[in-house]
Structure 1
């Protein structure tokens, strides 16, 4: 959970500049994920949403600084995953499913990555013990005070009707491994929505590639894994709509 924490220091100033220079009052993230961008944005109204209701329940729980699971065993993880996969989570509250599914899954992959078993990993300085769940939980607890004034809700991104906002979108990346609930993501519809929103709003999109009418305004190579021994990299990019009918060009 929270892959954008690795690039927040780069893209938050870019987003903030668009807000400040255009006197924007409302900032929206329709794919809020771990809220690692929105929690650093300064704007009168901040709204974060996601289609996953368990994620939103977890964020709303955390922003009230309520306790999380002290630990998540393999047995508890398997029980929650089975309940979710069977569509019957009545034994759990929504925030509990979110807590287990995001914080206790390897790489935060929402039950797709398997239980994040604690143990030793090899680093250039020798063996290091990692308790992945505790690291994820502690990070969320530290983050919690910065979530207090954010409005979190569960909805599909295309349910929004927006005007005069700065919108940052971090959709499922094309040609990468997706969460199970994002495998049918309609990219054509998404980019058409970004074009439509861009007529009345400032829209910024994180992706690795974009259609030709979107301009890359920033890029950076970043690590793809939480494991010290995994040296795989990807190039993160930030795009903005670059046509004459965009909000910035018609102001």
Structure 2
């Protein structure tokens, strides 16, 4: 399953909480004999890009993200060619950025939104993806000298995506419809490290504590029934450990890639909670 003797692949999107730096530790815990990997929170897809399963089910509640992936899967050359047009110096300034961002918020064509989404991701502040309560993309201009155009990374994603199906449904529905025997990797919006660090607006709908409970409960149920092994990433907090009380928990440190303050970009503890078929306690009641 895990890629061996292959170059480690970066995602073509910047993404808060991306798993590039944790790939080795994650893949060590994923079952190697499964044919299918299901990701209910695919994000930028670093785990997808750095594993070798026969099939993938990649899900996210963000319609712009899934729309982009579907277009890249079906018409990579056309999409990448259109994206390249926006990586010119004349579009790398605040006036151009905010004009294109306004266009994005008014655009209804999914292909054009996919093109602009990649531009906003690489030209916006700190690679954030954020919407306001009205569903408007509101990340400010990033002021980069020369944003990198990830052409090679996009082509790699497109080629690998030929073995993937993309869905945009609730994570619990995605997990419950996973093929029997498939391994499920979950990278949800994280439990807050503090009361002020509660950013969860990666999509137009937030991710409340009740959703964290639903995730832990669903993972435990699937493993207990013998249907699927589930691995979940999250911050290592007392709340996380209570949520995952009947999982095999491993703690690790990872550098924080995206933070508003440079001084906060430090190593933080994360947990990898493994709900393995055949090794789950009977108590599955959520916290």
TM-score using structure 1 length: 0.75
Supply the distance in 2 between the matched residues of 1:164 and 1:48 (Cα, whole angstroms). 16
- Residue matched to 1:124: none
- Residue matched to 1:11: 26
Structure 2 residue aligned with 1:26, among 11, 26, 36?
Answer: 36
Query: For 1:203-248, what per-residue CA distance to the aligned partner results, in whole angstroms no more than 9, with x for missing partners?
Result: 0001013222233235223233389x6543322321113xxxx623
CA 1:27–1:114: 2 relative to 1, 3 Å: same
- Residue matched to 2:133: none
Matched, 1:201 2:228: yes
Matched, 1:60 2:87: no
Give the secondary structure class of the aligned counterpart of 1:51. coil
Matched, 1:100 2:127: no
Supply the distance in 2 between the matched residues of 1:248 and 1:94 (Cα, whole angstroms). 44
- Residue matched to 1:78: 98
Matched, 1:188 2:213: yes
Give the secondary structure class of the aligned counterpart of 2:143. coil
Structure 1 unaligned spans of 5+: 120-130
Supply the distance in 1 between the matched residues of 2:109 and 2:246 (Cα, whole angstroms). 48
- Residue matched to 1:118: 144
- Residue matched to 2:255: 222
Give the secondary structure class of the aligned counterpart of 1:34. coil
- Residue matched to 1:248: 278
CA contact (8 A) 2:201 2:207 kept: no
Runs of 4+ residues deviating >6 angstroms: none
Moved more, 203-212 or 3-12: 3-12
Supply the distance in 1 between the matched residues of 2:109 and 2:70 (Cα, whole angstroms). 20
CA contact (8 A) 2:123 2:144 kept: no
Structure 2 residue aligned with 1:234, among 248, 260, 268?
Answer: 268
Supply the distance in 2 between the matched residues of 1:216 and 1:8 (Cα, whole angstroms). 17
Structure 1 residue aligned with 2:107, among 89, 97, 104?
Answer: 89
Give the secondary structure class of the aligned counterpart of 1:8. helix
Supply the distance in 1 between the matched residues of 2:59 and 2:95 (Cα, whole angstroms). 30
- Residue matched to 1:122: none
Structure 2 unaligned spans of 5+: 1-13, 131-137, 193-197, 281-287
CA contact (8 A) 2:54 2:163 kept: no
- Shift of the alpha carbon at 1:165? 1.3
**How many residues get paired?**
227
TM-score using structure 2 length: 0.67
Query: For 1:186-205, what per-residue CA distance to the aligned partner results, in whole angstroms no more than 9, with x for missing partners?
Result: 22222222222223210000
